[in-house]
């Protein structure tokens, strides 16, 4: 089955929904997401969205804070552009119906988080992401040009290089023309044909054993882009959120950084504070510093966690400012007005990703990426707190403007439909070895946590590289032999994403930002700081046909 739309959007968080809304006025849109429409990392963002909204703040100050956190790898033109254009895009969100917390009838209640010199975080209590997601979903559902495909998962991007062996993946003449997508309910593979493809699939926290991310965060966009020949940058920089609730049933429930912004203190088991020993800003130091400090203290003491203490604050303030966190912690038996919360770091945000310019354009024409999936140059080696929603908002706006301009320069959809083959499952059969998927999934997440975590070494990284190469071979064999399932596709994607993180970490022979290695504990400041860019221009589309040559090319 073939479905043709002008714009194909993969992902339904802030980045995907914003892009879909803005392009829908100019053409037809297929909004494709592998889970329910509202299930994305955006939904779970607690802290807020950073933007210059106060009189005592400025673009220059926000730019300076962002660059300081990024440890020499931020692109200043990108940082300045996104921060400058942020307030206008936030006002558009408000016009759509988003309601941010205010101190009165007019002024926003702005909070402060680690690395920020001013209070500039807009929030909707501690459910900011859900308020934004709710607002955008309502707008999308009222847009007749948008067709929504839930529980549909992208398999691979279709490019010109897949259709013409003379064109090199990611090289001259290549461009995105569609997607192969799995209908999870029926098992059917649908061929989506489009003039523009946007990847907005979120992050890859599920690559690690412990993560604050939802189950959807399996690195899909990065893996799809890499297989298509797109450039991937700085995957070694994976941010670990310092404070996730330590409880066996909590699934690393995030305790917002805003809690430290409001005065929360990190303590050891004996009650001593420790962050003042690591950074002048203490508990408000950037996340990479706080996460490493906690990791070091836990290893030094042998304790399973540290503690976040807000008991010195008035109970009503805590309940009013953090109602969702308060209720959730209470459900696990913790009253944070009376006792410190046990917390540990967990994988939180992928600062690397699909390399894009200021318009969200990848090196493959007509293939765009936005949000956590991409690497724009905003975050550098360490993301400043609450800059992620800002990036997705502004970059999707700019990508939409660029994509709209491409419509008139594109062949008709009917012409594209004729040249793109439908999926052919070949000799694949139903699997009787699903245990392979679950076992490999568990092994990847454990080896990434143990060998490629907060603190690294070459010995651990080489061990991880050898094992991930073996696992990829097993996964490849399984992929070719059996009919596709969501679990199989996610396993393949986390394995490829894990491989890219490992390769990036080995390439960077220094410690910088979120990448800390015992073999090179200091930053290399002898010359210009370089991005780690990975690209596989030998890749061919991994399908069980539609052309047998693709399988032969990869053999």
Q: What is the DSSP string of 282-323?
A: GGGS-HHHHHHHHHHHHHHH--S-EEEE-TTS-HHHHHHH-H
Helix (H) / strand (E) element for 14: namely: helix 14-23
The pLDDT value given to residue 427: 66
The pLDDT value given to residue 47: 78
Parallel/antiparallel/unpaired status of strands 49-50 and 121-122:
antiparallel
548 pLDDT above the threshold of 70:
no
The two three-digit tokens of residue 330, written as one number: 């209470």
Per-residue pLDDT reduced to its tens digit, 246-271: 988 877 788 988 888 888 999 999 99
Stretch among 66-70, 355-359, 481-485 having the lowest mean pLDDT: 481-485
Q: How far is CA 413 from the centre of its chain?
A: 31
Confidence of residue 420 (pLDDT cuts 50, 70, 90): confident
Cβ-in-10-Å burial (0-12, 13-18, 19+) of 487 comes to middle
535 HSE (CA, 13 A, CB side):
15
The two three-digit tokens of residue 379, written as one number: 């975050």
Distance, in Å, from the CA atom of 27 to the CA atom of 516, rounded to the nearest integer, reads: 46
The two three-digit tokens of residue 281, written as one number: 């800003």
The pLDDT value given to residue 50: 93
What does the H/E/C string look like for 482-540? ECCCHHHHHHHHHHHHHHHHHHHHHHCCCCECCECECCECCCCCCCCCCCCEECCCCCC
pLDDT greater at residue 329 or residue 417: 329
Residue with tokens 């053999």: 555
| Start-to-end CA span in the chain (Å) | 28
The pLDDT value given to residue 184: 95
Query: What is the mean pLDDT of the segment spanning 515-533?
Result: 92
Confidence of residue 105 (pLDDT cuts 50, 70, 90): low
Comparing CA positions, the residue from 287, 241, 207 lying closest to residue 500 is 207
Alpha-carbon distance values, 144 to 8, 21, 92, 95, 141 (Å): 15, 10, 20, 20, 8
Distance, in Å, from the CA atom of 423 to the CA atom of 535, rounded to the nearest integer, reads: 25
Domains (range + CATH), the chain: 2-237+351-419 (3.50.50.60), 244-348 (3.90.700.10), 435-520+531-548 (1.20.58.100)
159 HSE (CA, 13 A, CB side):
35
Helix (H, G, I), strand (E, B) or coil at 39: coil
Helix (H, G, I), strand (E, B) or coil at 113: coil
Per-residue pLDDT reduced to its tens digit, 49-101: 999 998 899 999 999 999 999 999 999 999 999 999 999 999 999 999 999 98
Distance, in Å, from the CA atom of 422 to the CA atom of 547, rounded to the nearest integer, reads: 10
Contacts of 461 (CB under 8 A, 6+ apart): 451, 452, 502, 505, 506, 517
Beta pairing partners, 31: 9, 148
Q: Are 17 and 39 in contact (CB under 8 A)?
A: no
Distance, in Å, from the CA atom of 444 to the CA atom of 425, rounded to the nearest integer, reads: 27
Active-site positions read 287
Confidence of residue 432 (pLDDT cuts 50, 70, 90): low
Please tell me what DSSP assigns to residue 361.
Answer: B
Stretch among 61-70, 217-226, 418-427 having the lowest mean pLDDT: 418-427
Alpha-carbon distance values, 167 to 170, 406, 416, 423 (Å): 9, 21, 17, 21
pLDDT greater at residue 204 or residue 256: 204
The two three-digit tokens of residue 307, written as one number: 């503690």
Comparing CA positions, the residue from 406, 482, 463 lying closest to residue 187 is 482
Give the other-Cβ count within 10 Å of 88's Cβ: 12
Per-residue pLDDT reduced to its tens digit, 133-170: 999 999 999 999 999 999 999 999 999 988 888 888 88
Distance, in Å, from the CA atom of 88 to the CA atom of 165, rounded to the nearest integer, reads: 45
Taking each continuous run of H as one helix and of E as one strand, the counts in the chain are: 16, 17
| The model's pTM | 0.89
Q: Are 319 and 120 in contact (CB under 8 A)?
A: no
Angle formed at CA 445 by CA 442 and CA 451, multiple of 5 degrees = 130
The pLDDT value given to residue 35: 96
Q: How far is CA 360 from the centre of its chain?
A: 15
224 pLDDT above the threshold of 90:
yes
366 pLDDT above the threshold of 50:
yes
């Amino acid at each position: 089955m073939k479905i043709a739309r002008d714009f194909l959007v993969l992902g339904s968080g802030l980045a995907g929904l914003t892009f879909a809304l803005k392009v829908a006025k100019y053409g037809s849109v297929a909004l494709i997401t592998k889970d329910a429409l509202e299930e994305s990392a955006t939904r779970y963002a607690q802290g807020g969205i950073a933007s210059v909204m106060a009189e005592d703040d400025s673009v220059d100050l926000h730019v300076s804070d962002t660059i300081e956190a990024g440890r020499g790898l931020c692109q200043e033109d990108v940082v300045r552009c996104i921060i400058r254009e942020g307030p206008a895009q936030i006002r558009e969100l408000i016009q759509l119906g988003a309601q941010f917390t205010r101190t009165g009838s007019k002024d926003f209640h702005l909070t402060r988080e680690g690395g920020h010199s001013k209070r500039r975080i807009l929030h909707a209590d501690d459910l900011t992401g859900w308020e934004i997601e709710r607002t955008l979903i309502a707008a999308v559902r009222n847009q007749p040009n948008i067709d929504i495909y839930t529980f549909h998962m992208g398999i691979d991007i279709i490019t010109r290089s897949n259709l013409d062996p003379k064109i090199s993946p990611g090289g001259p003449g290549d461009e995105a023309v569609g997607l192969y997508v799995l209908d999870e309910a029926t098992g059917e593979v649908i061929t989506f044909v489009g003039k523009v493809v946007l990847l907005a699939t979120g992050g890859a926290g599920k690559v690690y054993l412990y993560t604050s991310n939802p189950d959807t965060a399996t690195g899909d966009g990065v893996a799809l882009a890499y297989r298509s020949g797109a450039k991937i940058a700085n995957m070694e920089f994976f941010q670990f959120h310092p404070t996730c609730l330590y409880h066996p049933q909590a699934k690393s429930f995030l305790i917002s950084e805003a809690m430290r912004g409001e005065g929360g203190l990190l303590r050891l088991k004996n009650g001593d504070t420790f962050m003042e020993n690591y950074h002048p800003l203490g508990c408000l130091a950037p996340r990479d510093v706080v996460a490493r400090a906690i990791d070091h203290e836990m290893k030094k003491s042998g304790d399973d966690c540290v503690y976040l203490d807000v008991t010195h604050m008035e109970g009503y303030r805590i309940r009013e400012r953090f109602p969702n966190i308060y209720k959730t912690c209470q459900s696990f038996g913790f009253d944070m007005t009376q006792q410190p919360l046990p917390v540990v770091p967990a994988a939180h945000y992928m600062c690397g990703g699909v390399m894009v310019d200021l318009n969200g354009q990848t090196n493959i024409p007509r293939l765009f990426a936005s949000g956590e999936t991409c690497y724009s140059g905003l975050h550098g080696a360490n993301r400043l707190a609450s800059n992620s929603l800002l990036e997705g908002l502004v970059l999707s706006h700019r990508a939409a403007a660029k994509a709209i301009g491409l419509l008139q320069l594109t062949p008709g959809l009917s012409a594209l439909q004729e040249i793109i083959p439908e999926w052919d499952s070949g000799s694949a059969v139903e699997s009787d070895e699903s245990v392979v998927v679950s076992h490999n999934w568990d092994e990847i997440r454990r080896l990434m946590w143990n060998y490629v975590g907060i603190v690294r070494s070459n010995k651990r990284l080489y061990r991880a590289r050898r094992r991930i190469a073996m696992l990829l071979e097993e996964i490849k064999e399984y992929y070719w032999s059996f009919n596709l399932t969501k679990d199989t596709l996610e396993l393949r994607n986390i394995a490829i994403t894990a491989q890219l993180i490992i390769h990036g970490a080995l390439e960077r022979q220094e410690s910088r930002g979120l990448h800390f290695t015992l073999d090179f504990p200091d930053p290399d400041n002898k010359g210009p700081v370089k991005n780690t860019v990975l690209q596989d221009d030998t890749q061919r589309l991994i399908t069980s046909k539609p052309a047998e040559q693709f399988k032969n090319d990869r053999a």
